[in-house]
Amino acid sequence: MRFRYYWEDFTPGWTFENGPRSLDRDQIVAFARDWDPQRYHVDEQAAKETPFGGLIASGWQTCGLMMRMMCDGYLLDSACIGSPGLDEVRWLKPVRPGDALTYRATVLEQTPSQKDPNRGSVTFRWELVDRAGEPVVRIIGRQYYLRREPAR
């Protein structure tokens, strides 16, 4: 299987942007019923009585939206072979139905594998940014990618 993006392509400073996309009320409630049924994610009336003042998306769903925009943007055409995890997740602003969010990725570090000449890891900053230009979710995370050519 051949891909468009390999480890070599994600050099520090590489950036990508797509969107905007949004979550509607039904998507927010459906996701939350399955995975995070807190009152401010599933119940519009109850949400009004909380500090959020209305329905907001589960933080996990905002991560899901970010992941989906990453997939559609470049990841599905990449040699990504998983992620060991994230070093930071910040939910900076509540995400409400219809909020238009742009996905923005930036490569922070690119590290060859010490053990496997066919692989490397990449550390990214991933953000969803609202119409005002403010990040609503910011994540520092790492992924493993196959190399286009093995290290010598």
Binding site for a second copy (CB under 8 A): 1, 34-40, 49-52, 58-61, 63-65, 67-68, 71, 75-76, 80-91, 94, 141
Decide whether 13 or 89 has the Cβ nearer to a second copy.
Answer: 89
Letter string b/e over residues 77-107, b meaning 16 or more CB atoms within 10 A of that residue's CB: ebbbeeeeeeeeeebebbbbbebebbbbbeb
Decide whether 86 or 107 has the Cβ nearer to a second copy.
Answer: 86
| Least distance between a second copy and beta carbon 17 (Å) | 19
Coil, strand or helix at 45: helix
Decide whether 13 or 115 has the Cβ nearer to a second copy.
Answer: 115
User: Measured between alpha carbons, how far is 124 from 11 in angstroms, rounded to an integer?
Assistant: 10
| Least distance between a second copy and beta carbon 3 (Å) | 11
| Least distance between a second copy and beta carbon 92 (Å) | 8
138, 50, 65: which is closest to 97 by C-alpha?
65
